[in-house]
């Protein structure tokens, strides 16, 4: 039996073959990365949109109470910060309370204020119906003052505000 070795001039050279294999590998890796990167973004990675209801000063006299009227996604309280402004002076943003009924303390010009969060629906996430209450440190809010409550994302970006005036 004779073996026939044939030289085919139409074959791809080894250099071109190597370049094609590397290009195909890079394209497949890029496609795989794009597919998987969408799966790696967990809940809470995007900021939810939140709306507040009106401020009620009669629920707890001398304090301001307002509920969350709407939220696009339920996210845990550890993803949020809070801040308060009285008149033109503002406190420093701090992490909000992570348990229902707990509070965060904000100091403005030497006066301490408490920001309570009440988890009405349970689940330890910020949901529609949950409430915020802003009080003095065991005393009523200062009268004849305007206030602004800031709900911030953990990176400091503003989610929502609510303002009111104590007569």
Residues 6+ apart with CB under 8 A from 126: 48, 50, 68, 71, 74, 75, 76, 77, 80, 117
Helix (H, G, I), strand (E, B) or coil at 70: strand
* 25 and 99, same domain (yes or no): no
45 located within any domain:
no
- How far is the C-alpha of 135 from the C-alpha of 112, rounded, in Å? 9
Whole-number pLDDT of residue 8: 61
* 27 and 59, same domain (yes or no): no
Q: Report whether pLDDT(60) > 80.
A: no
* 73 and 28, same domain (yes or no): no
* 28 and 85, same domain (yes or no): no
- How far is the C-alpha of 97 from the C-alpha of 119, rounded, in Å? 11
* 116 and 75, same domain (yes or no): yes
103 located within any domain:
yes
CA distances 93 to 96, 98, 101, 106, 124, Å, are 9, 15, 19, 8, 21
Residue with tokens 């044939």: 6
* 17 and 87, same domain (yes or no): no
pLDDT (tens digit per residue) in 125-142: 999 999 999 998 888 888
Mark 8-27 as b/e (b = at least 16 C-beta within 10 Å). eeeeeeeeeeeeeeeeeeee
* 93 and 143, same domain (yes or no): yes
Q: Report whether pLDDT(13) > 50.
A: yes
* 103 and 142, same domain (yes or no): yes
pLDDT (tens digit per residue) in 96-127: 999 999 999 999 999 999 999 999 878 899 99
Q: Report whether pLDDT(61) > 90.
A: no
Q: Which range of residues forms the domain containing residue 64?
A: 50-166
Higher pLDDT: 61 or 69? It is 69
* Confidence (pTM): 0.71
Q: Is-contact 68 127, C-beta < 8 A?
A: yes
Q: Where does residue 42 rank: exposed (0-12), middle (13-18), buried (19+ CB within 10 A)?
A: exposed
Joined together, the tokens standing for residue 74 give: 């339920």
CATH number for the domain spanning 70: value is: 2.60.40
* 124 and 102, same domain (yes or no): yes
Q: How many domains does the chain have?
A: 2
* 23 and 86, same domain (yes or no): no
Whole-number pLDDT of residue 14: 84
6 located within any domain:
no
5 located within any domain:
no
H or E element, residue 49: none
């Amino acid at each position: 039996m004779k073996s026939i070795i044939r030289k085919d001039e139409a074959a791809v050279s080894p250099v071109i073959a190597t370049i094609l294999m590397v290009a195909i590998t890079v394209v497949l890796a890029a496609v795989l990365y794009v597919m998987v990167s969408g799966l790696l973004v967990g809940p809470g990675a995007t900021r939810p949109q939140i709306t507040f209801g009106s401020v009620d000063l009669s629920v707890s006299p001398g304090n301001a109470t307002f509920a969350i009227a709407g939220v696009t996604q339920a996210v845990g309280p550890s993803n949020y910060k809070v801040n308060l402004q009285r008149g033109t002076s503002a406190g420093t943003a701090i992490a909000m309370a992570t348990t229902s009924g707990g509070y965060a303390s904000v100091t403005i010009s030497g006066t301490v204020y408490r920001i309570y969060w009440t988890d009405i629906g349970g689940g330890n996430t910020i949901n529609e119906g949950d409430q915020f209450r802003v009080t003095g440190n065991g005393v009523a809010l200062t009268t004849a003052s305007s206030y602004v409550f800031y709900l911030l994302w953990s990176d400091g970006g503003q989610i929502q505000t609510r303002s009111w005036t104590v007569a």
